[in-house]
Amino acid sequence: MNDLSQPFGTRNAHPDLLDEERQPCEIWTRVMGYHRPVASFNAGKKGEHAERRFFREACTQVPMTR
């Protein structure tokens, strides 16, 4: 499905793939100090993982005092 006839840099960086062509991605998360694959969670823990909210902390500038 990749078209290699186009010069490098002009090809689409994200080719369109059929579901059969895709490779599953294993997602891991940190739980109580160790890492674990989300696929091994029970139904309740998978629900908790889906409800997680992510935030981005804003940068602050601390004034220099002398």
Cα dist. 31→36, 41, 50, 60 in Å? Answer: 7, 11, 14, 29
What is the CA 4 to chain-centroid distance, rounded?
A: 28
- Under the banding of pLDDT at 50, 70 and 90, the label for residue 6 is low
What percent of the chain has pLDDT above 70?
80
* pTM of the shown model: 0.46
Q: Domain spans of the chain?
A: 24-50
Alpha carbons 24 and 49: distance in angstroms, whole number: 18
Note the pLDDT tens digit of each residue in 34-58. Answer: 899 999 999 999 999 899 888 888 8
